[in-house]
Amino acid sequence: MPNQQSGHSLLSTRCRPTDGFATRAIRSGQDPCPLTGATIPPIYQTATFTQDAVGVMKSFDYSRTGNPTRLALERQLADLEGGRFGVAFGSGMAAVAGACASLMLGDHVVATSDLYGGTYRFFVDVLGRYGISTTFADTSDLAAVKAAIRPNTRLIWVETPTNPLLRLADIAGIAALKHHGQILAVDNTFCSPFFQTPLAFGADVVVHSTTKYINGHSDVIGGIVITNDERLHERIAFHQNAVGAVPGPQDAYLTLRGTKTLALRMREHERNATAVAKYLEAHEDVSAVFYPGLPSHRDHELACKQQRGFGGVVSFRVRGGAERAHAFAARTRLFNLAVSLGGVESLICIPAHMTHCSVPEARKNQLGITDDLVRLSVGVEDIDDLIADLETALNTTAEEAFAYTSAD
């Protein structure tokens, strides 16, 4: 199998470690093509590559194993995370599975308790069938993480911020708890590498659903696993090739293009999300707001220490319970009622019935993922329009609730 991280003249990079984030996002792994002068890496829409002789190839032989467009994306994103190796997958969940490629029968996982519903399902319903057990712990509490670690713990899986309650985990603190042979993997989807680089705090593996902020336009499904550990990279790349859960060259190209504006977009996402969070916190019809950028957030101090920004996701509880929360989510005009996040357009969802429907009801209630919880992915539209949309929806549902109670 060709080494997908080996040098290739079409995909070299002239970026320096001292170059800024936006420069690296635009330039890493994306030098002009020496054959044609094309400024943008071409879409190598090919399944196979012609060999010079039997077993003699120009770095690539088959696009499941390696493709130049995908390699450019892997190098670009690895550079942005401060990693040596990137392995791209066809979806965020495929990347989650790839990051678990080192696990074997009898291994144990410690995972964040309030993580994405799809990841919970994978750990419980997929890994569980393979004889790999998982303990879910409050990873915002170092004592709880330490207590959950067993002699056979192989992987510590952390989401920070978590989905959908936006709790934070001390990455460096958890890294210090690891024993020899244990892997710390961090799902960095909510922050993106613009706001957080977990490898710098001791993580061994970083995972992204590139569907979200990295691509940023809600038109591609994808994932990436990044590491500095060559052995881990080899195992993950072997899994990628053996399982075949790879992005096509068109998807890799679109994600490459989206990432070039990541710095610009994340600044706007954060600016708008901060304004929305402050608006909601001051609103009498909102009982709680979850956003690490607010001084009232339980992990605000850690966010200031560990992150370079606070992201674009805001969760909150609307007064009036599940009925009003569901009505509110259906009344917005600019916030589309949809799963996913991180696109330029704003989205709204009820996690308990949408993104986390695979989590058992009792567990959701225990975690606080209840029917009155609303999650916003705040886009980059004009902030006055977004707040006006929320205000209209809140007022409309308040009037409906008043009319309903008055009729009784």
| Dihedrals phi, psi of 261, to nearest 5 degrees | -105, 15
Q: Which residue of the set 24, 212, 324, 375 is catalytic? A: 212
Beta bridge partners of 206: 186, 226
| Other Cβ atoms within 10 Å of 371 Cβ, number | 17
* pLDDT at residue 34, rounded to an integer: 78
What DSSP character marks residue 53?
B
pLDDT digits (tens, 9 = 90+) for 81-136: 999 999 999 999 999 999 999 999 999 999 999 999 999 999 999 999 999 999 99
Give the Cα separation of 403 and 408 in Å (integer).
9
Is 212 catalytic? The answer is yes
Active site residue 260: no
Strand-pairing partners, residue 317, are: 288, 373
**116 assigned to active site:** yes
DSSP notation for 86-128: EEEESSHHHHHHHHTTT--TT-EEEEETT--HHHHHIIIIIGG
Q: Which of 116, 253, 279, 291 is an active site residue?
A: 116
How high is the pLDDT of residue 12? 54
Q: Annotated catalytic residue: which of 58, 64, 178, 267? A: 64
Percent helix, strand, coil in the chain, to 5, is 40, 15, 45
Q: What is the pTM of this model?
A: 0.93
Which residue of the set 187, 204, 251, 372 is catalytic?
A: 187
Buried b (16+ CB within 10 A) or exposed e, 95-123: bbbbbbbbbeeebbbbbbbbbbbbbbebb
- Joined together, the tokens standing for residue 58 give 């120009």
pLDDT tens digits for the chain (408 residues)? Answer: 344 444 344 445 567 778 899 999 999 988 888 788 889 989 999 999 999 899 888 889 999 999 999 999 999 999 999 999 999 999 999 999 999 999 999 999 999 999 999 999 999 999 999 999 999 999 999 999 999 999 999 999 999 999 999 999 999 999 999 999 999 999 999 999 999 999 999 999 999 999 999 999 999 999 999 999 999 999 999 999 999 999 999 999 999 999 999 999 999 999 999 999 999 999 999 999 999 999 999 999 999 999 999 999 999 999 999 999 999 999 999 999 999 999 999 999 999 999 898 899 999 999 999 999 999 999 999 999 999 999 999 998 866 754 544 444
For residue 343, what are the contacts with CB-CB under 8 A and spacing of at least 6?
A: 212, 216, 217, 218, 377, 379
